[in-house]
Amino acid sequence: MLLLSSLPISDNTQLVLDVAVCLVVVVVIARAYCPRSKNGLPLPPSPPNWRLMGHFLPPRNPFLTVAEWIDEYGPLITIRAGTEKVVIIGRYKAAVDIMEKRGGVLADRPPMSAGQMLTGGMTIAFARTGDRFRRMRRALHTHLQPKAAEAYQPLQMLFAKNTVLNILDDPSNFQNHVISYAVTTILTVTYGKATPTSAADPEVRAVRQLMSVFRTVLRPGAYWVDTIPWLRYLPWYGRKLKREFESNRKLFANQMNRLRHQLQSHVDVGPSFGRYLLENEHLLGLSELEMHFLSGTFFAAGSDSSAAAICTVLMAAACFPVEQAKVQAEFDAVVGRHRAPTFADQQSLPLLCAFISEALRWRPLGPNGFPHRTTKDVIWASENYCIPAGTTVLGSHWAISRDSEVYPDPDVFQPQRWINDQGRLREDLAFFVFGFGRRICPGLHLANRSVWINSVLLFWAFQLTLDPTKPLDDMGFMRVEMPHVSCPIVFTPRVSDVELRRIMHNYPEVE
């Protein structure tokens, strides 16, 4: 039998083969570059790019590059990460029309192989739509609905009081004090942990390291494995991701096993999310590993985001003293200086709520957004674009926050934009602090209360100013780089130290 390689190939045949290979290459390139969907409608426009790995986004503050593209090419753009197309939404109306109104179609996540390696596919943040996601989401939403979150308010007041006293004693380390508040609160809510927790504790350092890697994983094109998925099966690839998974698997298991042992020993640990999972294990249908990672993800994400949000509000107060003074004047009129405000005062302090909303628009958390994936074609009639099924979609929080049609003079800090003519909070204006649609952060009610109680107590207790002799990185908290953000806030008590300590000593505690 003749071997194929021994058969003579005429010049014409060789030419045909060469042309065929070229056509295959052209088709592959066209599929990667040509922005058009199967139904003939175009994808959103794409900035010019001829890089093999797709559009270049700088590792530091990539959202600024995206915002420039949005300004130039329109409310939706298409970029390429490897051979995958990514649609980025950068304007408010488009986010409402697509991410909110079509939330069911965008509830899925892209495969994100690096994220799967980091979490073993066990975290709800990366879970694809399906049975596991529904079971995890049901458990979270049942325990963290507004009424359930309200039950933790006494604990939040107690821990926020400690933040005031810690800053009074050691103001230069305010970032660590805020982190301590956040992790103490979230550990109590998640696992019922009663002992104080600090930013230096090993468990806190471990989950903050996880969240640092987590944020890198979310950046399009950060890992080759997201373009070449089979890399994850190579033993030498992604060792750091695999080590992080093993480290956090042990940490989350230890936390839940400690709680399980306490419950079996009839220790009164109080209510917690972990206790809810363990006591309803048979109803929720979650495996042991799923419970460990569900509670662990809540612990990790909740501590980071709450601390960053609180620090952002404090930085805004120091940067904009005139607006801070307006809020404090409202405090003096409603609360006075003879007592500290509580959650009972919340409805009477709309200027603070407006200030917080503006601070989290001015410097939004997660400015790059979190990837979603379409399960059906999405046609945006306003521009006659089609986002095909299976496309990764990002809502750019930074670009949306700069939408001048919704937020006039978007680079100007204006809390008044959130107040209506009657002096109340506007109901027709919002910002997507906690995400979009069915993927909105389930811990938002708890987080909102944490941000509010810390802001109200610290604004009431201190005058916040910037030290002009030291540099300010006003984007550091968006990157969640605490406690190393250059933010030199000076805290000056608004009442005497003795009086402030007396008021805090008598401040409402857990019954």
- Residue 510 falls within a domain, yes or no? no
DSSP state of 97: I
SS3 of 6, please?
Answer: helix
Burial of 201 per CB tally in 10 Å (0-12, 13-18, 19+): middle
Instruction: For residues 382 and 458, state if they share a domain.
Output: no
Instruction: For residues 374 and 286, state if they share a domain.
Output: no
* Token reading at 92: 């408010």
Give the residue numbers spanning the domain of 261.
116-363+414-505
Last residue of a domain, one of 380, 401, 422: 401
Instruction: For residues 86 and 152, state if they share a domain.
Output: no
Q: How many CB atoms lie within 10 A of CB 237?
A: 16
Q: How many CB atoms lie within 10 A of CB 502?
A: 12
Amino acid 24: pLDDT: 40
Question: What average pLDDT does this structure show over 83-106?
Answer: 93
Question: What average pLDDT does this structure show over 211-239?
Answer: 83
246 against 33, higher pLDDT: 246
Instruction: For residues 100 and 166, state if they share a domain.
Output: no
Q: How confident is the model at residue 38 (pLDDT cuts 50, 70, 90)?
A: low
Instruction: For residues 85 and 155, state if they share a domain.
Output: no
Instruction: For residues 152 and 163, state if they share a domain.
Output: yes
Select from 112, 374, 86 the least CA-distant residue to 227: 112
Burial of 228 per CB tally in 10 Å (0-12, 13-18, 19+): middle
Amino acid 39: pLDDT: 66
Q: Is 441 known to sit in a ligand binding site?
A: yes
Instruction: For residues 73 and 165, state if they share a domain.
Output: no
- Residue 95 falls within a domain, yes or no? yes
Select from 126, 101, 153 the least CA-distant residue to 509: 153
Select from 302, 311, 314, 187 the least CA-distant residue to 251: 187
Peptide bond into 42 cis (omega under 30): no
Instruction: For residues 374 and 279, state if they share a domain.
Output: no
Cα–Cα dist 115/263, whole Å = 33
pLDDT tens sequence across 447-459: 999 999 999 999 9
Q: Considering the entire predicted model, what is its pTM?
A: 0.89
Number of domains in the chain: 2
- Residue 11 falls within a domain, yes or no? no
Q: Has residue 19 got a pLDDT over 70?
A: no
Amino acid 17: pLDDT: 45
- Residue 28 falls within a domain, yes or no? no
pLDDT tens sequence across 142-197: 888 888 888 899 999 999 999 999 999 999 999 999 999 999 999 999 998 877 67
Instruction: For residues 374 and 486, state if they share a domain.
Output: no
Token pair 């899925």 is at which residue? Answer: 108
- Residue 111 falls within a domain, yes or no? no
Q: Has residue 302 got a pLDDT over 70?
A: yes
SS3 of 217, please?
Answer: helix
Q: How confident is the model at residue 20 (pLDDT cuts 50, 70, 90)?
A: very low
- Residue 335 falls within a domain, yes or no? yes
Instruction: For residues 122 and 44, state if they share a domain.
Output: no
Q: How confident is the model at residue 436 (pLDDT cuts 50, 70, 90)?
A: very high
Instruction: For residues 68 and 131, state if they share a domain.
Output: no
- Residue 306 falls within a domain, yes or no? yes
**Runs of H (alpha helix) within 105-235:** 113-119, 131-143, 146-150, 153-169, 174-191, 202-217
Question: What average pLDDT does this structure show over 352-363?
Answer: 98
Instruction: For residues 260 and 336, state if they share a domain.
Output: yes
Amino acid 55: pLDDT: 85
